[in-house]
Amino acid sequence: MPDAQDHPQIYLISPPDFDLSTFPGQLAACLDSTEVACVRLALATKDESRIAKAADALREVTHDRDVALVIDSHIMLVGRLGLDGVHLQDAARSIRKVRKDLGEDAIVGSFCGNSRHDGMTAGELGADYVSFGPVGDTPLGDGRIAEADLFEWWSQMIEVPVVAEGALTETLIRQLAPHTDFFGIGDEIWATDTPAKTLTQLRSAMLG
């Protein structure tokens, strides 16, 4: 996962379920439409065969374009499926062990909700990036939001790259662009008829 540049980079998150006959093409169109730093395979299923087939299909698309592919939570599948790393959902609790198991070259990211403390701990334990969210209003989850001041503080105080994700809008992207390294974009584009076009529009918002 590349280091942050002057403008935030795009971190694409797959839908929780998708059609293997069509989604790899949609993903390829997105990667070809604008620069993407990383893709997260975030299937809701626990079916290992289903996950493996999806990973194989997405890996072909991402690696052909030199884009990193990480998997949500399934640490044991990283090496087996030839992936670049893992995105953890348990804040800082398993980072030390995961880093030891996967090695220094693997990408290890940590979702920390809206907890400044969890984010700092994750960074100290070796996370390559910390993700906060949701940043927008959503009926999902427990109602807690990662507010703009969290990202402002993080950008001033902490060197570990930060991802803003969850219920993003163009307005929120413009607001957070000066203070975040990556935007985690998923449903914001996959729920539209033209994901690649929508992604390009969101990218324009990141650039101000």
User: Mean pLDDT, to the nearest integer, of 106-131?
Assistant: 97
pLDDT band at 116 (very low <50, low <70, confident <90, very high): very high
Sign of dihedral through CA atoms 16, 20, 22, 28?
positive
- Which pairs with CB-CB distance under 8 Å and at least 24 residues apart come from 136-141? 136/166, 136/167, 136/168, 136/169, 136/172, 137/167, 138/166, 138/167
Which residue range forms the structural domain that includes residue 82?
Answer: 9-206
Query: How far from 128 is each of 95, 114, 140, 204, CA to CA, in Å?
Result: 10, 18, 27, 26
- Average pLDDT in the chain: 95
How far is it, in rounded angstroms, from Cα 115 to Cα 21?
38
- Contact present, 183 and 173 (Cβ < 8 Å): yes
Both tokens of residue 17? Answer: 């379920």
- In the structure, what pLDDT confidence band is assigned to residue 4 with cuts at 50, 70 and 90? very low
- Nearest one of 143, 123, 124, 120 to 133, comparing CA atoms: 143
Residues of the chain by 3-state class (helix, strand, coil), percent to 5: 40, 15, 40
- What confidence tens digit (pLDDT) does each residue in 77-112 have? 999 999 999 999 999 999 999 999 999 999 999 999
CB atoms near residue 72 (< 10 Å): 19
Residue range 34-60, pLDDT digits in tens:
999 999 999 999 999 999 999 999 999
Number of domains forming the structure of the chain: 1
Does the pLDDT value for residue 63 go beyond 90? yes
Give me the CATH number covering residue 85: 3.20.20.70
Asked if residue 189 has pLDDT above 80, the reply is yes
In a domain, 51, yes or no: yes
Is residue 1 a part of any domain in this protein? Answer: no
Query: Is residue 139 pLDDT above 80, yes or no?
Result: yes
Amino acid at 53: K
- For 20, which DSSP code? T
What's the distance, CA 40 to chain centroid? 6
Confirm whether 24 is domain-assigned.
yes
pTM listed for this prediction? 0.96
What residue type is assigned to position 195 of the chain?
P
Establish if 3 belongs to a structural domain: no
CA atoms of 45 and 35, how far apart (whole Å)? 28
Residue 141's pLDDT band, with cuts at 50, 70 and 90, is: confident
| 2 inside domain | no
